[in-house]
Amino acid sequence: MSKIAVLVDQDFEDSEFRVPYDRMKEAGHQVDIIGLEAGKQIAGKKGKEKIKIEKAARDVKEADYDALVIPGGYSPDHLRMNMDAVRLTRTMALVNKPVAAVCHAPSLLIEADLVDDRMVTSWPSVKTDLLNAGARWIDREVVVDGNIITSRNPGDLPAFSDAILQAIADGVAPRAEPVLAPEAASEERPSVL
């Protein structure tokens, strides 16, 4: 059994919290809800989910967890303005633990300086920000690049959850190979997506 942190704040995308949370619990993992203030009640942006923050980001460290999951919605925008949430995200990734971000959540990966030269996906409105931060963006339901797992939207949650569970079961995958444009393949330079 692994310990998994779900990092979330007010106005998260309801299903992007619930589906991975339930899948990880069903798989027998301990899942803690981490946010900005322990004990605070928060609600999803669609009002379907109301959850209680179990621990504050300032009170946990990367050694406490085996993986980090970040739902989308407006939540990542709140989290990226908090040093403790950014620190937890960054340190989890730097010690090579799975960090999974769906929809708008890759914006927190940008803030944590984790996307440069990484292959990722996201909600389309985050694409340009990711490219400007040095990422290689791909329109796929799930993209796994080493310990960074990303997905586009609620429709991708089955594949996203599968990728998280696979990363936890197998350990972290190697970094993805750069995508080469046909004309650049002989020069061995990555293409700009």
Catalytic residue ranges: 103
Q: Reduced to 3 states, what is the DSSP secondary structure of residue 155?
A: helix
DSSP 3-state of 100: strand
- List, in order, residues 6 or more apart from 119 with CB less than 8 Å away: 135, 136, 138, 143, 145, 176, 179
Backbone φ, ψ for residue 175 (5° rounding): -60, 145
Q: Are 9 and 41 in contact (CB under 8 A)?
A: no
